[in-house]
Amino acid sequence: MTLLGRSASRGQVSSFHEMEAQKVGNRKMGNFVSIIDVKDYVDQEITLGAWVANKSGKGKIAFLQLRDGTAYFQAVAFKPNFIEKFGEEEDLDKYENIKHVAQETSVKITGTVKADDRSKFGYELDVTDIEVIGESVDYPITPKDHGTDFLMDNRHLWLRSRKQHAIMLVRNEIIRATYEFFNARGFIKIDSPILTGSAPEGTTELFETDYFGQPAFLSQTGQLYAEAGAMAFGKVFTFGPTFRAEKSKTRRHLTEFWMIEPEMAFTTHEESLDVQEAYVKHIIKAVIDNQAYALNELDRDVAVLEKYIEIPFKKITYDDAVALLQEHQADNDYEKIEWGDDFGSPHETWISNYFGVPTFILNYPKAIKAFYMKPHPTREDVVICADLLAPEGYGEIIGGSERATDYEYLKTKLVEFGLSEEEYAWYLDLRKYGSVPHSGFGLGLERAVTWITGNEHIREAIPFPRLLHRLKP
């Protein structure tokens, strides 16, 4: 009988869970202490497995910038200390190893952790021993400035840099906090297919492929499948890659990106907006609480992020947003906009900056939104939907709506959009067999990462970006 079998005592089970919890909290890599945890070892000797990100110094002292995947910090090697520990002859070899170690060489390095108020990280390592594990020769990304194309060509190496490392830490925290948020609220994660036979958002932005002799497309969204999931489980979310064949070169667009798409049965759009606001505030708080190191490395103003948590998000109708833009047209350089036009990036930037907090734009014209959105109960020209605009010039990060539930209405919309009723028969079935009011939304992970980190371009918010003219590495 195993520990967790029927014969296990309550105390045994409790001890098991305590041990598992300790394992989860232990960030050691083998016998090596992680850099992010050196604060727990002040004035103690530890051993790190690390890479040398940079090196400086001369004569009797050498400074090594170390990284191990958790953080960066400085190690200081003082030649007299080596002489004292190893003797004159052995010291020569040890210290020479340090003097000649190249950028990105991997090392086993031992030393005493010292608090250092002069350091941004707050600690440094007083080196007592070093062993080269893997040499690095002519590492291409040197500490000097490099062009963007060069860095993107070497993305597999660029990920090692301080800034890119910090951005990926924030990305990971947003993913972790996403699961935390939805799991705590009773959502079930379901997986939508990447290959589909239909086009949920229209036919002009699709990557087509051959699927054993019939056309198939890389998914634009997991939403329609999430709706099927909501009818089975009540509250679900999908999280996976999506693809848009837009020939866009803006700092906000990728051709492959990740979407988080919750769907909720028995839920109105107003209720969905509450979930959206709570979710965005949750991921921001999680980053502040758990990735202070990364935000510090990125020089992100935490006070600004805290404001987004504390202040209620703004809500404004599309009608009023257009009126505001028209009113302030003379004082700004964005293109003139008329009712019925979709917003461009300059319009979204101006609106969100005008209010200074994340802003919901409600009830867009029916003609510029997807076929599945519920029509407004008192107006023929708009649908029940909203886009959430992030301030500071980051634009739309969420799109959501209440979904149309009328079978005949959806059939009509499919025809209007030039979509095949046969391909969407399964989706129409959801309206035939116990349909209920339901709402959902999609958050673009990379846009959220770009905004929360305060980064300039979305290409740095994903490990290996796919852009209009970039398919490798």
Q: Are 196 and 229 in contact (CB under 8 A)?
A: no
Residue 1 is assigned to a structural domain of this protein: no
Residue type for 340, please? G
- Of the chain, the percentage scoring pLDDT greater than 90 comes to 76
Query: Any idea which of 17-21, 106-110, 389-393 has the lowest mean pLDDT?
Result: 17-21
Flag the least confident range among 10-24, 168-182, 311-325, 356-370: 10-24
Q: Are residues 179 and 114 located together in one domain of the fold?
A: no
Q: How does residue 13 score in pLDDT terms, banded at 50, 70 and 90?
A: very low
Token pair for 111: 């030393």
Domain check: are 100 and 243 in the same one? no
In a domain, 10, yes or no: no
Looking at the structure, do residues 134 and 69 belong to the same domain, yes or no? yes
Closest CA to 394 of 341, 461, 331: 461
Residue 429 domain flag: yes
Q: Pick from 76, 109, 139: which residue ends a domain?
A: 139
Pairing of strands 188-189, 235-243: parallel
Residue 177: CB atoms within 10 A of its CB come to 20
- Looking at the structure, tell me whether residues 295 and 343 fall in a common domain: yes
Shared domain check, 323 and 189? yes
In a domain, 153, yes or no: no
Same-domain check for residues 110 and 256: no
CA atoms within 13 A on the CB side of 344: 9
Report the alpha-carbon distance of residue 294 to residue 71 in Å, rounded.
8
Same domain, 73 and 190: no
Q: Which pLDDT band holds residue 204 (cuts at 50, 70, 90)?
A: low
Q: What is the pLDDT of residue 99?
A: 78
Q: pLDDT tens digits, residue range 151-161?
A: 999 999 999 99
Q: Which residue among 104, 139, 174 closes a domain? A: 139
Query: Does residue 8 form part of some domain?
Result: no
326, HSE (Cβ side, Cα atoms, 13 Å): 10
Tens-place pLDDT, residues 222-274? 999 999 999 999 999 999 999 988 887 888 889 999 999 999 999 999 999 99
Q: Radius of gyration (Cα) for the chain, nearest Å? A: 27
CB contact set of 400 (below 8 Å; sequence gap of 6+): 269, 272, 273, 276, 385, 386, 387, 388, 439, 440, 441, 442
Short-list 265, 259, 381, 239, CA closest to 319: 381
Q: How confident is the model at residue 87 (pLDDT cuts 50, 70, 90)?
A: low
In-domain check, residue 9? no
Assign residue 398 the CATH number of its domain: 3.30.930.10
Place of tokens 């010291």: 91
128 and 229 part of one domain: no
| Token representation of residue 455 | 């980064």
- Confidence category of residue 201, pLDDT binned at 50, 70, 90: low
Q: What is the spatial distance between Cα 394 and Cα 346, in angstroms, rounded to a whole number?
A: 10
- Write the CA distances from 397 to 76, 127, 193, 288, 446, integer angstroms: 44, 46, 23, 19, 9
Domains of the chain: total: 2
Helix (H, G, I), strand (E, B) or coil at 187: coil
CB neighbours of residue 127 within 10 Å? 25
Is the residue at 341 inside a domain?
yes
Can you give the pLDDT at residue 199? Answer: 64
Query: Which residue matches tokens 């979305």?
Result: 458
One domain for residues 135 and 163: no
Bridge partner list, 265 = 438
DSSP at 255: S
Q: Are residues 283 and 341 in the same domain?
A: yes
- Which pLDDT value is given to residue 22? 47
173 and 79, same domain (yes or no): no
Query: Which of 139, 168, 192 represents a domain boundary (last residue)?
Result: 139
CA distances from 275 to 264, 311, 312, 444 (A): 10, 15, 13, 16
Mean pLDDT of 169-189: 98
CATH number at residue 103: 2.40.50.140
Domain that holds residue 329: 158-461
pLDDT on residue 255: 93
Same domain, 123 and 179: no
Output the six-digit token pair for 467: 């852009």
7 pLDDT higher than 50:
no
Residue found by looking up tokens 């990060």 in the block:
397
Residue in 311, 297, 411 with CA at minimum distance from that of residue 65: 297
In a domain, 146, yes or no: no
- pLDDT, average across residues 62-71: 95
Give the containing element (helix H, strand E) for 230. helix 223-233
The rounded mean pLDDT for the chain is 90
